[in-house]
Structure 1
Amino acid sequence: MKDLSWFNKVMFVLNIVLTVLTFLAYILPFLAPKLFPFLSVLTMILPLMLIFNLLFFIYWGIQMKRQILLSSLVLLMGITFINKFYKFSSTDLPKSENDFTVMSYNVRLLNLYKWIERDDVAELISEFINDKNPDILCIQEYSEGKINLRAYKHKFILMKGDKTKTGQAIFSKFPIINKGDIVFPNSNNNAIYADIKRGKDTIRVYNMHLQSIKITPDVHEINEDINGINEQKSKKIIKSMSRAFKAQQEQAEILMNHKKDSKLPEIICGDMNNSAFSFVYRSIRGDLNDTFEEAGSGFGKSYNFNYYPARIDYIFADKKMEVKSFENYPDFINSDHFPIMARLSMVK
């Protein structure tokens, strides 16, 4: 520190603070959110912290300062997180007769309340799904009577709510031989499942929608709140996020307990409302494959959050399935989420 200018001393202090926060974010996926609910927000901004650590690494490297060792250590320890945030190359294996495709999409009630100022959103979503033609389709925040899907003889739709009916839906080209729902207490969110018979194989498909943290996609509003322009709203956001992280942990535990009763190969789809660096992600994924990590490319953005490539929607596939390709569609903006789709094949 003695050899540093006053400016570099300030930079190094900031570097130390960032390092401590980054190490906390590394540990949090292994700690239940109920213990430190608001600290869990660090897992959602971990990619941003890794970028700032990289900038510090470059900053000290240009000056050939030994302080570079701090950022080097942080980045080295975080190397296993990179694939969860960004994939440099995709996988697109040759198609075969044994392949099948799975799509997950939060359709935001098909624009029931005109969040998007146009009248044809439901039609555009219908056309998109019909064009991509997934074999299995999982929809969150479904709204009945507004979508026209041609290819699906089999479906399971569960609607909830008093004034506004919202629900989960699983559409399948293959027979559904068993189905059910998983209740999340004190929440409008839930999960459903369907056992789908495909040839000689039976696959259990879960469609989940976990508790929302209820923050606006408008980054400018969030920044204003954090800067104290609206202190009351900031406190509400903090309380809301803390409650949501606790609820997500409980919901993940309920889902995992339900899984224990099934010996079928499984696929878990849906809107987790949390990042790939979280305790909830680690719990639900378990030993399943994250299809984005296996075959995706880029950021895998699935939520329309300004200036930040948020990935909160997932397709997890059983180890008995090969992940042959993965796609997300960030240019299809007809909900606050983007559709994601994976091509899978049962391993013989």
Structure 2
Amino acid sequence: MAFKFIRKLTRGIFLIPTILLAILFVAACLASELNPEKWWFVAFLSLLLPYLILLLLFAFIFWLFAKPKAALIPLLALLIGWRQIKVIFSYHIFSSFNNDIKATNAIRIISWNVGSMYGLSHNKDKRMHDRKEIANTIIGLSPDIICLQEFNNSETQGKEANNVELFSKDYPYYFFSKDLDKHNGFYQSGSIIFSKYPIIDSVKIKYPKGISESFIYVDILRKKDTIRIFNVHLQSYKFSPQDYDDIAQIKSQSDSTIKASISLMNKMQLAFSRRGVQADMIQKYSDSSRFKSILCGDFNDVPGSYAYFKIRGSRQDAFLKKSWGIGRTYYSIAPTLRIDYIMPDKDFTVNQFDIVDEDLSDHLLLASDIVLNPKK
């Protein structure tokens, strides 16, 4: 009798957290539909999706043995969120990227947030060396198109600061957004597209509200085809070194946790809101393209977010087509942050995809071979 009572009590104790977990997961799934410009608090939940999915799977297995009827709660929640699950996990376990094997009709494209081209070291001499390592790593993959975010350059400080020259021999065609241009070329930063193919048109589109980042596109001429390449960089959280220290304090549950949390949440709220506006703009321009197109960039947002679904639309996600796992592309904060993407439209086939870790930036390099489908 006592055993039955304990068993019933245990079920009751676990049932309430299971229901709350299911509700929280469904609420997190709404982040893909609600623009964070107004619904910024829901956007926070999208960051939890991988963890909530795993917890629901454990809850499903537990209730399957403890009380099968209760297993319907996590199962129903997972079915409701299947759209989000599909973009978080990729299942192509046996896919690989071979740098030496590239179809003759394929376009090899690279997208990478290069963190100002100076690597992760604080040593000045090593930072000067890292800029060449970054360029050599990219060129060594023999891409046809290179999309870089947080690229910097100087036109007046000589060769040791002219990063465009590192690529211009192999990639004579390029378009640089120069979102920040200090003292007539002394220091420039922004997004850049390098191409082996002629660029016949180029456009920079500014974000509203004085945001320094922008997004750009170029039209390249490849044989008889004109292809549009978008390179986008959305609002980051702009965490300072102190903010990363605050994150460490939160993880260690120190006395200053509340103060640190408020500061971080304020920055995250602003970033979520701005990315909502930016995502709408990017979707408008990319969907109205009169040419077949490939969109690359650093969204600073995860799959499951409003920015991801809004920008992707009917596009393909190269990672989901040819990779496996969660696909982390950003080192700091959490192990589940896939925030960088390559997205060709439906007129292309993804042959290969890889996420390359060279320990030269806080972001990882994305490489993909993409083939333009023959005209019907």
Fold conserved between structures, TM > 0.5: yes
Q: Please name the residue that 2:159 is paired with.
A: none
Q: CA deviation at 1:42?
A: 1.0
Partner of 2:361: 335
Written as runs of structure 1 = structure 2, the 5 A alignment for 1:43-192 is 43-89=46-92, 91=95, 95-111=102-118, 114-115=121-122, 118-119=126-127, 120-144=129-153, 145-146=162-163, 148-149=166-167, 150-161=169-180, 165-185=188-208, 186-192=210-216
Q: Structure 2: how far apart are the matches of 1:88 and 1:222?
A: 35
Which residue does the alignment assign to 2:238? 214
Q: Which structure's CA Rg is the greater one?
A: 2
| In structure 1, distance between residues paired with 2:65 and 2:123 | 47
**What pairs with 1:257-268 in structure 2 (closer than 5 Å)?**
257-268=284-295
Which sits farther off after the overlay, 291-300 or 109-118? 109-118
**Aligned in 2, Cα 1:128/1:71: closer, same or farther, shift over 3 Å?**
same
Which whole-Å deviations, capped at 9, do the CAs of 1:140-187 have from their partners, x for residues lacking one?
A: 000112462342111111223266632111000000000010101221
Cα gap change, 1:297/1:256 in structure 2, threshold over 3 Å: closer, same or farther?
same
Which residue does 1:314 correspond to in 2? 341
Letter in 1 for 2:227: I
SS at match of 1:138: strand
SS of the aligned residue for 1:187 comes to: coil
Which stretch shifts more, 216-225 or 241-250? 216-225
1:202 partner amino acid: T
Letter in 2 for 1:39: V
1:87-122 superposed Cα distances (whole Å, 9 cap, x missing partner): 222546984321111110000101278457843321
Deviation readout 1:261-319 (Å, 9 max, x if unpaired): 53111111100000111111111111111111112222222111355131000111011
- Over 3 Å counting, the alpha-carbon distance change for 1:98 and 1:295 in structure 2 is same
Instruction: Specify the code of the residue in structure 2 equivalent to 1:315.
Output: I
Give the whole-Å Cα distance in 2 for the aligned partners of 1:86 and 1:222: 30
Mapped partners of 2:120, 2:80: distance in 1: 45
Report the number of matched residues: 346
User: Is the Cα–Cα contact under 8 Å of residues 38 and 241 in structure 1 kept in the other structure?
Assistant: no
1:158–1:169 contact (8 Å) kept in structure 2: yes
What is the CA deviation profile of residues 73-92 of structure 1, one whole-angstrom value per residue up to 9, with x for unaligned ones?
12233334333222222546
| Aligned with residue 330 of structure 2, among 298, 303, 306 | 303
Q: Give the residue type in structure 2 aligned to 1:253.
A: D
Does 2:45 match 1:38?
no
- Cα distance between partner residues in 2 of 1:68 and 1:254: 42
Identity, % of aligned positions: 29
Is contact 1:276-1:312 (8 Å) kept?
yes
Q: Does the C-alpha gap of structure 1 residues 65 and 115 become closer, same or farther in structure 2, counting only changes over 3 Å? A: farther
Which stretch has the larger CA shift, 238-247 or 72-81?
72-81
Deviations 1:228-270 (A, max 9, x none): 6232231121111111111011111222233355311111110
Aligned equivalent of 1:347: 373
Q: Quickly say closer, same or farther: Cα 1:130–1:72, change in 2 above 3 A.
A: same
What is the distance in 2 between the residues matched to 1:322 and 1:91? 15
Distance 1:169 1:206 in 2: 10
Whether the aligned pair in 1 keeps the contact of 2:250 and 2:261 (CA below 8 Å) is no
Residues 312 and 34 (structure 1 numbering): CA distance in 2 closer, same or farther, change over 3 Å?
A: same
Identify unmatched segments of 5+ residues in structure 1: none
* Local SS of the residue matching 1:192: strand
Q: Which residue of 2 aligns with 1:204?
A: 228
User: What secondary structure sits across from 1:305 in the alignment?
Assistant: coil
Shift of 1:15: 1.5
Q: Residues 99 and 154 of structure 1: is their aligned pair in 2 closer, same or farther, counting only changes over 3 Å?
A: same
| Greater CA drift, 288-297 or 161-170 | 161-170
Alignment partner, residue 9 of structure 1: 12
- Distance in structure 1 (CA, Å) of the matches to 2:367 and 2:272: 26
Rounded Cα–Cα distance in structure 2 between residues aligned with 1:15 and 1:317? 39
What SS class does the counterpart of residue 152 from structure 1 fall into?
Answer: coil
Deviations 1:21-71 (A, max 9, x none): 100112221111123202201112211110111121222234345322211
Q: Please say if residues 15 and 56 of structure 1, whose CA atoms lie closer than 8 Å, have aligned partners that are also in contact.
A: yes
Contact 2:56 2:78 in 1 (8 A): yes
